[in-house]
Amino acid sequence: MAVQNTIKVAAQRREATLGFWEQAYIFEAVRGLWITTRHFVGNLYYHVLKLFGIITVHPLTPTIQYPEERRPLAPRLRTLHRLARREDSSPRCVACMMCETVCPALCIKIVAAEGSRPGVEKRPKSFDIDLGRCIFCGYCVEACPEDAIRMDTGILDIAAYSREGMLLDMDLLLSLQPAQQQTDKEVDRLQRLLLK
Amino acid sequence: MNPVVYWTSTIAKSAYILVFPLTLAFFLVWAERKQSAVMQDRIGANRAKFLGRPFLGLVHMVCDAVKMFVKEDFVPDGPHRILHTLAPFLAMFFALITFAVIPFGYQLTIAGETIGLQVADLNVGILFIFAMASLGVYGMVLAGWSSNNNYALLGGIRASAQMISYEICIGMTIIGAVLALGTLSMQELVIQQGHHYFGWLPRWGVVLQPLGFLLFFTAGVAETKRVPFDMPEGESEIIGFNLEYSSMKFAMFLFTDFIETVLIAAVTVTLFFGGWQIPWLANTGFVWPWGGDWEMHPNVVNILRMAAFAVKVTFFCWLMMAIRWTLPRFRYDQLMDLGWKWLLPLSLANIVFTALAVWFVR
């Protein structure tokens, strides 16, 4: 009963704000049809132009055809991690465990080993990131004293068919490039690699 | 008439009038996606590709068809097997059989034989349409009832309540048009609309019956069970009579809606927009209201008329699709209010007014 009263009151209030012509509905319906038809005709005009190659970008449709077209990413956007290398292509990482310690999601696992050359006492034997746990907070990047771990690959669409697939090992992390230096082909290759 | 010609022409006409709505309905599935996209500043289906090209999204329809055929035809425990299987066939049959009396052209003269372009020239064609459209509701009711599912049953009840309410209005508005044009035969209705007032204004049903057209079209959109009158189905949330259907049986219900869209468009065109008539086109060619005429071969004229009918029907399908993607769904009480408190009294008033007008004019 209370619900019915509420509905009735709401209906009365709404009807009070509608004039006679609005309540007659047909004119409002025609007005709505006029708006959609205007959009239809305008969009169709540009679609036909585009179909015949006269224009390349549809000016009224904001759709981005995602896998083929991508929006530009902000440079400081946190995307998939990578491990940077030194100039002699050895990993910059010195296995100091800072990132593993700071990581709130506990997704980084580092196994340290003896450094292989003078001046570098430790090196990572393995460096695994479990993306299934990672929350992309970026603390690891901030914590790293060697600027070894970075999140600038520009790879956003991370997916895998299993939990094991979300585990990234050191070889993979070292092979990733910053977004600016990647060609589309490399992005494709890396995505396939990730999916495996 | 020569029996060979009779049977050949009848089969050819039946094939045409069967293929025409089916093809149009098939393309309406495509239009449903693409037209809505274009209306809403989107791009629409373009991911399915054939030979690396999306062909304006047409490949999606083929994929749909394949999917519907390949899917498992699941029938849950409990339904009345025979009725459950029969329901979609009934729904589609009554939608398709109605096209038998739709005149899709005037006549063609081939090898000395004159062939009327209508499968069955019943002298009460308009009543036949009304009868078949009314029987169409049995498909929905049977589907809802035989599914042994409360929600499907409720959907079937909603369907029958809605269809019966709006069929009354359809019948009343048809009476208005029949009074104004003075015949019950579909072909004769169209021929009657070939005259012109003042030498230029086509004597189309919409000129004689503007209110009748509005009422008929509104009730017709309700008959197709699509938004804003999609209470029987409500596929996005409430789920209707086709709840327990899958695979091709579900597709037949879906397709029936589109065929009914074509049907309502065809009947609207026949009753109110001159059927196959083109303004100022007589049997011998164009007779312009500003003087002068273009002579044409009668067969050319009649092929033009067939094309005109197809174009008109396509336009009304487009309009119904535009309505479907513009207006939100009615609430159930609004639906009943509209049917019983607005359309019915208005159509009754329309009959009285038309009858008086006809009486005074004659």
Average pLDDT over residues B130-157: 88
From the list B38, B325, B326, the residue facing A47 with the nearest CB is B38
* Segment B123-134 mean pLDDT: 87
Please list every residue in chain A whose beta carbon sits closer than 8 Å to the beta carbon of residue B40.
Answer: 39
The predicted structure's pLDDT at residue B148:
86
Is B40 close to A33, i.e. CB distance below 8 A?
no
The predicted model gives B20-45 an average pLDDT of 90
Whole-number Å distance between alpha carbons of A81 and A136: 9
Decide if pLDDT at B208 tops 70: yes
**Distance from C-alpha of B174 to C-alpha of B128, rounded to nearest angstrom:** 12
Q: What is the pLDDT of residues B214-261, one digit of tens each?
A: 999 999 998 888 888 888 887 777 778 888 888 889 999 888 989 999
As a whole number, mean pLDDT of residues B113-124 equals 85
ipTM: 0.85
**Count of C-beta atoms within a 10 Å radius of residue B252:** 22
Under 8 Å between Cβ of B117 and B13: yes
Q: What's the pLDDT at B281?
A: 87
Q: Is the pLDDT of residue B100 over 80?
A: yes
Contacts of A35 in chain B (CB under 8 A): 326
Asked if B352 reaches chain A (Cβ–Cβ under 8 Å), the answer is no
Res B283: pLDDT:
83
Question: What's the DSSP call for residue B279?
Answer: T
Query: Any chain A CB within 8 A of the CB of B41?
Result: yes
Write out the two tokens for A176: 């990733």
Say which residues have a Cβ less than 8 Å from residue A89's Cβ, sequence separation at least 6. none
* Encoded tokens for A13: 């209030």
pLDDT at residue B158 greater than cutoff 60: yes
pLDDT for A110? 94
Report pTM.
Answer: 0.83
Chain A contacts to B (CB-CB under 8 A): 25-26, 29, 32-33, 35-37, 39-40, 43-44, 47, 58, 60-63, 65
Q: How far apart are CA B162 and CA B173, in angstroms?
A: 17
pLDDT tens for B170-203 read 989 999 999 998 888 899 899 989 888 887 888 8
Whether cis (ω within 30° of 0) applies to the bond prior to B228 is: yes
Region B141-168: what's the mean pLDDT? 88
To the nearest 10°, the Cα dihedral for B46, B43, A40, A21?
120
Q: What per-residue confidence (pLDDT) applies to B290?
A: 82
Q: Which residues have CB under 8 Å from A137's CB, separation 6+?
A: A78, A104, A105
Residue numbers of chain A with a pLDDT score lower than 70:
1-3, 13-16, 180-196
CB of B133 within 8 A of CB of B166? no
pLDDT value for A182: 56
Of A26, A29, A36, the CB nearest to B39: A36
**Which one is predicted more confidently, B293 or B40?**
B40
Searching chain B, which residue's CA lies closest to the CA of residue A28?
B327
pLDDT digits (tens, 9 = 90+) for B280-327: 888 888 888 887 788 888 888 889 999 999 999 999 999 999 999 999
pLDDT in the model for residue A124:
92
* Interface touch B42/A63, C-beta < 8 Å: yes
Candidates B280, B230, B288; CA nearest to B254 is: B230
pLDDT of residue B265: 94
pLDDT band at B346 (very low <50, low <70, confident <90, very high): very high
Minimal-distance CA residue of chain B relative to A59: B41
Size of interface A-B (CB pairs under 8 A): 39
| Average pLDDT for chain B | 88
Q: Among A5-14, B3-12, B264-273, whose mean pLDDT is lowest?
A: A5-14
Tell how strand B107-110 and strand B113-116 pair up.
antiparallel
Give residue A196's pLDDT: 52
pLDDT value for B305: 92
Overall average pLDDT of the B160-175 stretch: 89
